[in-house]
């Protein structure tokens, strides 16, 4: 099965083409990851087409589209989800949404870590986070200040390692491993794999904003 993966939940725009081999692994045929905090819309479609060309895959060859649903800033996240929805609709493909933090945790799981905390930049001096154990997500996704998160993590909640945004990993001060700092093609597809392989109709894709957008209509500002 050939899967197109897209994520714009972080400053890194990620897209790629992966082959899911039933009963075996996931082979990434092509991937692009570009750090561009405010240029998601300008480059995403070009990166997708570059990946299809490098992988030697025509759009008609794709079997599914996987998209990271956040949490992430409103504008950047919307770019990736709208683009993924447009590709899936135009090609008649199922669209599978996954939590972007789950995708990062999936990559970290390959390091053999136990309890894994994933943190990404939520701006406004806050972080998006989720805590994972060997059997899956234990808490989150949520958005908090680093100080509030550190306080919550004391005691039994303390992770073995922290991955994600390097600046926030250092701020939290936990041990980190050499793992992905943003969702990867392999992580996105691995997270969606049970749904993709089932060929079942996926649930509607819903963005995980976790808070209101920065942009507010003029009439609502005073309120």
Which residues does 133 contact at the CB level (< 8 Å), separation at least 6? 114, 115, 116
pLDDT in tens, 14-55: 999 999 998 889 999 999 999 987 778 889 999 999 999 999
Relative orientation angle of helices 100-109 and 185-198, to the nearest 10 degrees: 100
Tally of domains in the chain: 2
Task: Read off the tokens for 178.
Answer: 């050499």
In a domain? residue 178:
no
pTM of the predicted model over 0.85? yes
Q: Does residue 65 sit in the same domain as residue 107? A: no
In a domain, 47, yes or no: yes
Torsion of CA 103, 15, 83, 142, to 10 degrees: 20
Q: Can you give the residue range of the structural domain that contains 138?
A: 101-172
Q: Within a domain: residue 50?
A: yes
Nearest Cα neighbor of 130 from 97, 111, 108 is 108
**Predicted confidence (pLDDT) at residue 222 exceeds the cutoff of 60:** no
Q: For 122-181, how does the pLDDT look when each residue is reduced to its tens digit (9 = 90+)?
A: 988 999 999 999 889 999 999 999 999 999 988 767 888 889 988 888 888 666 666 778
């Amino acid at each position: 099965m050939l899967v197109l993966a897209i994520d714009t939940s972080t400053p890194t725009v990620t897209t790629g083409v992966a082959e899911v081999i039933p009963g075996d692994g996931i082979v990434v045929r092509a991937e692009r990851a570009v750090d561009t905090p405010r240029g998601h819309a300008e480059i995403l479609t070009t990166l997708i087409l570059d990946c299809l060309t490098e992988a030697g895959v025509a759009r008609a060859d794709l079997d599914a589209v996987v998209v990271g649903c956040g949490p992430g800033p409103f504008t950047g996240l919307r770019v990736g989800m709208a683009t993924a929805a447009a590709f899936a609709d135009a090609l008649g493909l199922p669209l599978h949404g996954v939590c972007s933090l789950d995708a990062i945790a999936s990559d970290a799981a390959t390091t053999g870590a136990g309890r894994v905390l994933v943190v990404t930049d939520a701006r406004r001096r806050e972080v998006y986070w989720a805590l994972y154990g060997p059997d899956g997500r234990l808490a989150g996704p949520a958005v908090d200040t680093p100080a509030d998160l550190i306080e919550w993590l004391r005691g039994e909640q303390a992770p073995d390692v922290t991955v994600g945004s390097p600046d926030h990993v250092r701020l939290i001060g936990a041990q980190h491993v050499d793992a992905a700092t943003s969702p990867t093609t392999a992580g996105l597809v691995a997270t969606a794999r049970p749904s993709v392989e089932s060929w079942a109709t996926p649930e509607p894709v819903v963005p995980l904003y976790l808070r209101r957008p920065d942009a507010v209509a003029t009439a609502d500002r005073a309120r």
